[in-house]
């Protein structure tokens, strides 16, 4: 007789006893959950405007896809820190795009920067310091690892980013405490970037208190004016840059990211590589070979980036103007795929319709208009605040890019080639400014 069938339920493996305490209560990441929910609603025949997940609308550039095809047969495990020519190409990318010199030995390749961020938080012992709002996964990663999370207060007037003053105020409370600050710009969820003066001021405080900074620059190539500047320019010895193919190269699903370390932090790279060798082993071989083409640049990539930026900039401007005309408060974006509007100025009107927090706002918006966005509470904002993150990416990027090569990217262009985003903006604006139900 099979004994397992005779056991009482009390003997069975149970989440109440056996689930790691730090994982209890965690659901799937908000970005992935909204994506799957949107897809499920579409399968049921619902019209859904998918502004939830921040995925590039553009195809991977053809020459990068060709490189992947050419290397599909590569099957060996590769070195844990990454394929040597790819580490060289990544170092070349930082030199070409930002004038920063990294030896290829100071580059670590991984299966997406998200995984590398988890590993750096595991290897480096310190509090996680992030501004509110911040991308959905930084805090849960720290929570899983049992790290303290310190949210830095922000001010809508300064774009809701990290300020040197807020960092200073936190560090002063316990100057010797080890800390890891994550700075992300162009920012997810706000789309804002930092000026050289702001970066310099943050660098000064970080240096004074020996704060390790993970500079998440994954959206660098989408900066609308093409003028991204790394924090590493001002704080080279304490900055680790995070970048990858997911955003500016349209290859989120390829899962390829890289960190660049200063020589002084080789011990951190080596510690991370030790963990990598015991966990993911090495990043997918064909993807690493193809990524060389992605990081190497060239005229085709330059054209692709320039056209992508023009479209993203026009969409950000259109969406911003449409929502602010309807009464929302919103900072204009400087890069990336996102806006982070607040509907607080419309609170009275929304409350009269039973909408008093960001989760209800997003649920009702999805239910009544089909527009899927994420609540500000997923990004560390108070749940009572009527803020949301929207990703203006629901359009087919290939024809849009082809058209952008020969056309002015104005509102008429957006209505022709990014019609779903335009409709979503107009539906959202009409919905929030509606009186009573
Ligand atoms: N970074 C993207 C977002 O914020 C999607 C990827 C992810 O969250 O894993 O929507």
Q: Where are the domains of the chain?
A: 30-58+300-433, 73-296
Task: Give every residue of the chain whose pLDDT is below 50, as ranges.
Answer: 1-4
- CB distance 221 to 212 below 8 Å: no
What residue has token string 């929570």?
143
Res 151: pLDDT = 98
Q: How far is the CA of 188 from the centre of ligand 1 (A)?
A: 9
Residue 29's Cβ-count burial label (10 Å; 0-12, 13-18, 19+) is middle
- CB distance 112 to 287 below 8 Å: no
Using CA positions, which residue lies closest to atom 10 of ligand 1? 54
**Class for domain 73-296, per CATH?**
alpha beta
What pTM did the predictor assign?
Answer: 0.95
Q: Diameter of the chain by CA atoms?
A: 75
Looking at ligand 1, which atom is closest to the CA of residue 53?
10
Looking at ligand 1, which atom is closest to the CA of residue 135?
4
Over the range 125-142, which residues count as b (16 or more CB within 10 Å of their CB) and which as e? ebbbbbbbbbbbbbbbbb
Per CATH, 30-58+300-433 and 73-296 having the same topology is answered no
Question: Is the C-beta atom of 114 inside 6 A of ligand 1?
Answer: yes
Looking at ligand 1, which atom is closest to the CA of residue 189?
4
**Tokens encoding 274:** 């030790």
- Closest by CA to 229, choosing from 310, 239, 237, is 239
C-alpha 402/C-alpha 304 separation (Å) is 9
Give the N- to C-terminal CA distance of the chain in Å, as an integer.
Answer: 63
- Closest by CA to 321, choosing from 313, 335, 332, 305, is 332
Beta-sheet strands, E only, within 232-311 = 239-244, 257-260
C-alpha 26/C-alpha 143 separation (Å) is 10
Distances from the Cα of 81 to the Cαs of 54, 104, 169, 260, 281, in angstroms?
Answer: 27, 10, 37, 11, 9
Res 2: pLDDT = 47
Res 437: pLDDT = 58
Question: Is the C-beta atom of 31 inside 6 A of ligand 1?
Answer: yes
Res 305: pLDDT = 98
Using CA positions, which residue lies closest to atom 7 of ligand 1? 31
Res 436: pLDDT = 66
What residue has token string 């849960």?
140
Task: List pLDDT tens digits, range 152-167.
Answer: 999 988 889 999 999 9
Q: Which fold has domain 30-58+300-433?
A: 3.90.1150
Looking at ligand 1, which atom is closest to the CA of residue 218?
1
Q: How far is the CA of 10 from the centre of ligand 1 (A)?
A: 39
- Closest by CA to 124, choosing from 153, 148, 107, 100, is 148
Which sign, positive or negative, has the C-alpha torsion 398, 399, 400, 406?
positive
**Tokens encoding 235:** 């704080």
C-alpha 388/C-alpha 359 separation (Å) is 9
């Amino acid at each position: 007789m099979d004994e397992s069938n005779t056991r009482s339920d009390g003997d069975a493996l149970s989440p109440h006893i056996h689930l790691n305490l730090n994982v209890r209560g965690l659901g799937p990441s908000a970005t992935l959950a909204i994506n799957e929910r949107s897809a499920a609603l579409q399968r049921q025949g619902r019209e859904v405007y998918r502004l939830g997940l921040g995925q590039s609308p553009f195809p991977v550039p053809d020459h990068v896809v060709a490189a992947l095809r050419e290397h599909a047969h590569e099957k060996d495990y590769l070195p844990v820190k990454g394929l040597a020519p790819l580490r060289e190409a990544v170092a070349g990318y930082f030199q070409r795009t930002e004038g920063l010199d990294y030896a290829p030995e100071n580059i670590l390749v991984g299966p997406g920067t998200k995984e590398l961020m988890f590993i750096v938080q595991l290897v480096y012992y310190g509090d996680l310091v992030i501004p509110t709002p911040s991308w959905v996964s930084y805090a849960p990663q720290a929570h899983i690892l049992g790290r303290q999370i310190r949210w830095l207060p922000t001010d809508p007037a300064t774009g809701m980013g990290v300020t040197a003053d807020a960092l200073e105020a936190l560090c002063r409370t316990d100057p010797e405490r080890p800390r890891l600050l994550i700075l992300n710009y162009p920012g997810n969820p706000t789309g804002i970037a930092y000026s050289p003066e702001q970066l310099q001021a943050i660098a000064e405080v970080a240096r004074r208190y020996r704060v390790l900074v993970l500079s998440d620059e994954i959206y660098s190539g989408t900066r609308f004016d093409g003028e991204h500047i790394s924090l590493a320019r001002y704080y080279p010895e304490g900055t680790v840059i995070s970048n990858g193919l997911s955003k500016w190269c349209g290859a989120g699903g390829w899962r390829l990211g890289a960190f660049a370390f200063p020589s002084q932090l080789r011990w951190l790279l080596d510690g991370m590589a030790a963990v990598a060798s015991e966990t993911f082993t090495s990043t997918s071989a064909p993807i690493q070979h193809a990524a060389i083409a992605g990081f190497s640049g060239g005229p085709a990539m330059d054209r692709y980036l320039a056209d992508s930026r023009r479209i993203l900039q026009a969409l950000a401007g259109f969406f911003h103007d449409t929502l602010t005309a309807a009464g929302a408060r919103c900072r204009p974006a400087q890069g990336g795929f996102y806006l982070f509007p607040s509907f607080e100025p419309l609170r009275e009107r929304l409350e009269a319709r039973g909408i008093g927090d960001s989760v209800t706002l997003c649920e009702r918006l999805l239910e009544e208009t089909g527009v899927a966005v994420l609540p500000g509470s997923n990004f560390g904002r108070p749940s009572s605040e009527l803020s949301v993150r929207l990703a203006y990416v629901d359009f087919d990027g290939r024809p849009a890019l082809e058209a952008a090569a020969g056309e002015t990217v104005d509102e008429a262009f957006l209505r022709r080639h990014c019609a779903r985003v335009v409709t979503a903006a107009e539906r959202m604006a009409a919905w929030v400014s509606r009186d009573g139900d």
